[in-house]
Amino acid sequence: MPLDAIKAISAAEDESRQLKLLARQNARDSIEEAQRNGEEAVAKARDYAESEIATLTRATDRKATDQALELASKTANRQATLRARAERRLDAAVSLIIERIVKV
């Protein structure tokens, strides 16, 4: 085999090795970039979810507070109505008891 052919083959093999190394490095770089992009996407999704949870929690708390205030108001109104009715009945009961005692 002539020396030029051996040099050409050797050069082709060296070039092939260099291309393989470059291809491996490019593959590693692509994998690292994909991992970084994936981690960033997960972080963004987590932040969004946490923000949504906070927003929904505040809305739920406001609604629960509003409902509790409404219930307290209704309860206070009902309590006042029952108290007024009880006081009217108390007056009638006192009158009845005094009437019976006086008759005895």
Residue labelled with tokens 């996407």: 41
Residue-wise pLDDT tens digits, 24-47: 999 999 999 999 999 999 999 999
List Cα–Cα distances, 74 to 6, 71, 80, 82, 85, in angstroms.
100, 5, 10, 12, 17
Using the predicted structure, report yes or no on whether residue 104 has a pLDDT greater than 80: no
Residue-wise pLDDT tens digits, 83-96: 999 988 998 888 88
Using the predicted structure, report yes or no on whether residue 64 has a pLDDT greater than 70: yes
